């Protein structure tokens, strides 16, 4: 698969995840936040929480997507989240790390999104 095709699938998965999150009452604040310390796919508000969301798309779906958010990825997300909070002077905000697992069909189109709230904690 070409890098361009993979980027297209990634954008479609992120869009599907954002729509699902909004349907669940999340307010999307930022997409694709990047800094020296890492990247966060989606930043949202859900109730009183500021939520940092990792979007993972896999053909086999939910378990494979969760397993793809390994310790190294979690640490990078936490560092990027801290940078986001510091930039916006939100260090006292209650935060949560969620994973949006997007299942793809054989052609790479999103067919289902499962959201795991509190998928991991900053101290893990």
- Residue 15 sits in a domain whose CATH number is 3.40.1350.10
pLDDT at 65: 65
Res. 50: pLDDT tops 90: yes
pLDDT (tens digit, 9 = 90+) per residue, 78-100? 999 999 999 999 989 999 999 99
Q: Which contacts qualify for 115-120: CB closer than 8 Å, 24 or more apart?
A: 115/17, 115/20, 115/21, 115/24, 116/66, 119/54, 119/66, 119/69, 120/69, 120/74
The band of 9, judged by pLDDT with boundaries at 50, 70 and 90, is confident
pLDDT at 88: 96
- Domains in the chain, number: 1
pLDDT at 2: 84
% of the chain residues with pLDDT over 90: 72
pTM of the model: 0.92
Neighbours of 81 (CB within 10 A): 23
- State which residues form the domain around 88: 3-120
**Which of the two residues, 63 and 95, has the higher pLDDT score?**
95
How much is the average pLDDT of 14-28? 98
Spatial contact of 29 and 21, defined as CB atoms under 8 Å apart: no
């Amino acid at each position: 698969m070409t890098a361009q095709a993979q980027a297209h699938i990634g954008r479609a998965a992120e869009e599907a995840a954002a729509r699902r999150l909004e349907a669940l009452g999340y307010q999307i604040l930022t997409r694709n936040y990047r800094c020296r310390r890492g990247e966060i796919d989606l930043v949202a508000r859900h109730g009183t929480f500021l939520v940092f969301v990792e979007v993972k798309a896999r053909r086999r779906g939910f378990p494979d997507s969760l397993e793809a958010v390994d310790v190294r990825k979690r640490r990078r997300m936490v560092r990027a989240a801290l940078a986001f909070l510091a930039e916006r002077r939100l260090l006292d905000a209650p935060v949560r790390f969620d994973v949006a697992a997007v299942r793809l069909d054989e052609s790479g189109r999103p067919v289902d999104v499962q959201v795991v709230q509190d998928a991991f904690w900053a101290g893990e």
